[in-house]
Amino acid sequence: MFEKLQSDYRRFLEVDSALLDPHVSSDPVRVSALAKERGTLAKSAVPYGRYLDLGQQIAEAEAMAVEESDPDMRAYAEAELEALRARREELAETLRNLLYDRAAGADRSGLIMEIRAGTGGDEAALFARDLLEMYRRYCESKRWSFEVLDLTPTELGGAKEVSFAINGDGAFRHLQFESGGHRVQRVPETEAQGRIHTSAATVAVLPEPEEVEVDIRSEDIETDVMRAGGPGGQHQNKTESAVRLTHRPSGIVVVCRDERSQHKNRAKALRLLRSRLFDRMQEAAAAERAEQRRTLIGSGDRSQRIRTYNFPQNRVTDHRINLTLYSLDRIILGDLDPLTDAMIHHDRREQLGEL
């Protein structure tokens, strides 16, 4: 199971050895780079090294228990052996958690979410806006940063589509399973006769990569500027501040118009473009492993209906894990932990069966 950690452990030993080399220690830049790499590797290499040491101690204790003829000494060796095995199993669980965190992208702190109103007209746009506020409040409770990148509002205060960036410790790990179709059942503000309507919105979660992870050449981008349009005041409508970027190799198009500054909108559009390209790369990699996965959790399939919000019954149901909670009033105000924790627990159980 832990073969994936062996290369990290070998590299950790190489870095340790290099830091003791006088030729290396005379180069401050290289020392700094190696020290940083060592710190990253140590998270898995140190416990894995202890795991290997315990394996050696267990082998020695087993040999002693077999060879010892004195009953008291043999009983002591067997008791010591049992304690060593218990310690190794505890450490094995720690290493399994490390492997899961790595597979689940727990080391990523940044992501971009996109919400689009689906079927349901004005009510779907209002629901999309409710989802935006739900995620905003959740971020506030976690002390994560929240930044709207682009928003297309409706006259009734809804959102046709919105993109926003989230950054903070554990943000991607907790929100990565939000991709998919979200359905709402309620009496909409636009309904005069009190009938319950069903509307939908789609959510996409895109990991925000570092610039080095996705190389975007300037010659591959076509840039267009335009008036922002829509609600926003005279300045927005008279100034060509909106930016549309077209990535020729992939055909991906992004538009940002939320800022009055063309420069700021272009910077936000580049972030969106980079995340969508990275998401496409990950989808291709996931497709190669699809037959081996036991679950659709984390597939990010946006056509899949993942959750229903039933307001009359104060009920939320996650259809992927058959979880139903009667606390919609708290969840819509940002208390998402009962949902996100359940998804993480389920995905961890599934993935650890594959590691």
Residue 293: pLDDT over 50: no
Residues 6 or more apart whose Cβ sits within 8 Å of residue 283: 300
CB neighbours of residue 77 within 10 Å = 20
Angle at 281 between CA 181 and CA 295, to 5 degrees: 50
Q: pLDDT band at 254, cuts 50/70/90?
A: confident
pLDDT band at 294 (very low <50, low <70, confident <90, very high): very low
pLDDT of residue 23: 87
Q: What is the DSSP letter of 209?
A: -
Instruction: Provide the pLDDT for residue 53.
Output: 93
Q: How many CA atoms lie within 13 A of 298 on its CB side?
A: 27
Query: Which tens digits make up the pLDDT trace of 63-97?
Result: 888 887 888 888 888 888 999 999 999 998 888 87
The reported pTM is 0.63
pLDDT for residue 289 is more than 50: no
- Side-chain-facing half-sphere of 338: CA atoms under 13 Å: 16
Is it the case that residue 145 has pLDDT exceeding 90? Answer: yes
How wide is the angle at C-alpha 193 spanned by C-alphas 231 and 328, nearest 5°?
Answer: 70
% of the chain beyond a pLDDT of 70: 85
- Which tens digit of pLDDT belongs to each residue from 118-128? 988 889 999 99
CB 343 within 8 A of CB 318: yes
Residue 107 φ then ψ, to 5°: -80, -5
Do residues 335 and 135 touch, judged by C-beta distance below 8 A?
no
Q: Is pLDDT above 50 for 299?
A: no
What's the mean pLDDT when you consider all of the chain?
83
Task: Write out pLDDT tens, residues 210-245.
Answer: 554 576 788 888 888 877 665 444 444 456 788 888
More confident residue, 3 or 296: 3
Tokens 């927005």 correspond to what residue? 236
Domains and CATH numbers, the chain: 3-103 (1.20.58), 110-352 (3.30.70.1660)
Q: Which of 146-155, 225-234, 344-353 has the lowest mean pLDDT?
A: 225-234
